[in-house]
Amino acid sequence: MPILQALVFATIFCGFFGIFLKQNLVMKILSMDVMSTGVIAFYVLIAARGGFFTPILDTAEPSVGYADPVPQAVILTAIVIGFSIQALMLVGVMKLSRDNPTLESREIEKTYSP
Amino acid sequence: MTAVMSLETATLVWIALPFLIGFSIYLLPKLARPAAMVMACLSWVYSLLLLQQDTALTMQLMDSFGVTLQLDALSGYFVLTNAMVTAAVLLYCWSSNKGAFFYTQVMVLHGAVNSAFICADFISLYVALEVIGVASFLLMTYARSDRAIWVGLRYLFISNTAMLFYLMGAVLLYQSGGTFAFAGLAQAPPEAIALMTLGLLTKGGIFVSGLWLPLTHSQAETPVSAMLSGVVVKTGVFPLVRCALLFPELQPLLGLLGVGTALLGVGYAMFEKDAKRMLAFHTVSQLGFVLAAPAVAGFYALTHGLVKSALFLGAGQLPDRNFKVLQKQPIAWPLWGVLAIAALSISGLPLLAGFGAKTLTLKTVQPWQVIGMNLAALGTAISFAKFIFLPHGNSKEGSLTASAEQPAATSINNPGFWLAMGLLLGGLVLANGFYLEAYSFKSMAKAMLTLGSGWSVYWLVIRQVPLKLPSMMEQFDNLIGTMSLMLTLLFWMVLA
């Protein structure tokens, strides 16, 4: 479990650093996706503290360790929201790429700053 | 309304209605403006119901782990702000050629902001904040210019990254207490508090995490900036205020951040040469006043929301955004009049509600905050002198330049603009009723003294100094990087 947790945090950090170290806007969006994957994994990990069984109540085996359904339900909402935001951002980037084909964020920022 | 149905039922209907109206608008574009206006009025009625609520009413929907709502007077003030600002923006846009899509987004934003103001658990709050983020992005990019898209993308990036940190904090909170409710914060580990505070500070535009705000709010279209600065940023501050009231041990941390952001924002605003950017920096500063005194945050947020949206709507009518140009070009006196009234209110002139709010806040803050907050109040008076001392002249000339700059529908001759201003400024005068005790000789003398010294500093120092503060901290990469620094800082502050 601790190794898994360390890996999850490593994913989150890689994603976070990618957001501001990568120059290309598409890479930035992908980094954000990596970060959100890390966060989702973190939720799943915490849900699995009590056990790995799918939390569907079964009268035959009452004493197995069920996974906690609450964080899973919550993160499902967050996945959907994250997905829709990503879609919106990619549409925005597509529009921007018409006039800024390299999609370098520094250049774009310089062009559109007052 | 209470006679017809209970407050619980009214709340459920009121929460669902804006989304219902929003999506029906898309099907029936003819009804867009009246339907949206009816919704704003309903929110107004509902907020008055909340304001009469002496004890907080807690609602738990869908059993345990469900949505928790908390209805009290504090929410009432914030909902009232939302209703007034939305109504003013709708009036302002009434005769413009905005499509149904615009009004749909306004309604979705209105509904999401409303739900953020009454929810009492971190996951409902998360959903509300994300909906707000998406709706604000769509409103910002309504013009579809490349610049608008870039500003919107930058906003969405920052807000989404902040919300990822927030989500991590939320699950740590759940791990320790088995609940997502605000009340579960009691057993929360410091890292959970630090992560969630970072998310909310960034969303709410506070201290260095809020430096994304000036560019975003100044580049958006006039009505959109009015909504963003008037209510939307307050959705990040409101949960912090709510938690500070629930857990007094959080108050030193948030109070310190409040003083910090009040001084930071006002420092930038004093030297800013661009009218809309100055107003946006001022939002950063005023949120500090809201945060510094959680007990009276509602009233301050109301006055600030009214003033800031009035100022943004007014500044959109100015012939130019640069103060240097404006100082040489007289503007129409009615426009100057509304701008000056709003600016005087935020500087704290008696007779306007800004005075009562400022007096109440300064009276409530802790002794160690007093010096910082008074300095910030002085800075407010200094920076708003820029609006008050704008040259004004014959209305003919001014309105002609204004309409040359703007499309005809949103020019100064637009009756919707004056109705919106009437609503906001009228609200400012009436809001005095919330705190009439402010009118003592001592506090009036203090307000006049602050105003007088602020104006003299403006004439003697600020007008002469051509200093321009660097905007390096507002670069996208630096904003994201600052989040990690701020997270470390918050963690140590929570531990201390």
Tell me whether B475 touches chain A (CB under 8 Å).
Answer: yes
Containing H/E element for B40?
helix B32-51
Q: Which of B:19-48 have CB within 8 Å of A? A: none
Cα–Cα nearest to A15, from B484, B190, B174: B484
Taking the C-alpha atoms of residue B245 and residue B197, their distance in angstroms, rounded to an integer, is 15
Statement: residue B4 has pLDDT above 60: no
- The Cβ of residue B316 has, within 10 Å, a number of other Cβ atoms equal to 22
Output the domain CATH number for residue A90. Answer: 1.10.287
Tell me whether A93 touches chain B (CB under 8 Å).
Answer: yes
* pLDDT given at position B402: 45
Q: Which residue of A has its CA nearest to B155?
A: A89
Mean predicted lDDT score pLDDT of chain B = 90
The mean per-residue pLDDT over the stretch B329-344 comes to: 90
Taking the C-alpha atoms of residue B46 and residue B174, their distance in angstroms, rounded to an integer, is 32
- The pLDDT > 90 percentage for chain B reads 71
Taking the C-alpha atoms of residue B290 and residue A61, their distance in angstroms, rounded to an integer, is 54
pLDDT tens, residue by residue, A42-99: 999 999 988 888 877 777 766 778 888 899 999 999 999 999 999 999 999 999 999 9
* pLDDT given at position B404: 43
Taking the C-alpha atoms of residue B198 and residue B194, their distance in angstroms, rounded to an integer, is 6
Taking the C-alpha atoms of residue B207 and residue B218, their distance in angstroms, rounded to an integer, is 18
pLDDT tens, residue by residue, B43-54: 999 999 999 888
Q: Are A51 and A65 in contact (CB under 8 A)?
A: yes
* pLDDT given at position A112: 87
Token pair, residue A55, equals 């939390």
Question: Which residues touch B42 (CB under 8 Å, ≥6 apart)?
Answer: B14, B17
* pLDDT given at position B410: 46
Taking the C-alpha atoms of residue A32 and residue A87, their distance in angstroms, rounded to an integer, is 12
* pLDDT given at position B100: 93
Strands B68-71 and B57-60: antiparallel
Taking the C-alpha atoms of residue B431 and residue B428, their distance in angstroms, rounded to an integer, is 5
Q: Do A19 and B180 touch (CB under 8 A)?
A: no
Q: Are B279 and B218 in contact (CB under 8 A)?
A: yes
Cα–Cα nearest to B57, from B68, B67, B69, B71: B71
Tell me the β-bridge partners of B59: B69
Q: Do A92 and B149 touch (CB under 8 A)?
A: yes
Rounded to a whole number of angstroms, the distance from the CA of A17 to the nearest CA of chain B is 8
Cα–Cα nearest to B82, from B29, B128, B149, B31: B128
Cα–Cα nearest to B47, from B105, B124, B106, B114: B114
Give SS3 for B113: helix
Q: What confidence tier does B268 reach under pLDDT thresholds 50, 70, 90?
A: very high
Tell me whether A97 touches chain B (CB under 8 Å).
Answer: no
Taking the C-alpha atoms of residue B446 and residue B359, their distance in angstroms, rounded to an integer, is 9
What residues make up the domain containing A55?
A: 2-112
Q: Do A105 and B164 touch (CB under 8 A)?
A: no
- The Cβ of residue B469 has, within 10 Å, a number of other Cβ atoms equal to 13
Statement: residue B324 has pLDDT above 50: yes
Give SS3 for B99: coil
The mean per-residue pLDDT over the stretch B461-466 comes to: 80
For B261-320, give the DSSP string. HHHHHHHHHHH--BHHHHHHHHHHHHHHHHHH-GGGHHHHHHHHHHHHHHHHHHHTTSS-
- The Cβ of residue B366 has, within 10 Å, a number of other Cβ atoms equal to 14
Cα–Cα nearest to B201, from B136, B288, B268, B109: B288
The ipTM of this complex is 0.96
Q: What domain count does chain A have?
A: 1
pLDDT tens, residue by residue, B381-415: 999 998 999 888 765 444 444 444 444 444 567 88
Half-sphere exposure of B395 (CA within 13 A, CB side): 7
Rounded to a whole number of angstroms, the distance from the CA of A43 to the nearest CA of chain B is 7
The mean per-residue pLDDT over the stretch B277-285 comes to: 94
Report the alpha-carbon angle B256-B259-B260, nearest 5. 85
User: Could you tell me the CA-to-CA distances from B291 to B56, B250, B349 in Å, in that order?
Assistant: 20, 11, 22
| Distance between first and last Cα of chain A | 50
Token pair, residue B334, equals 């009615």
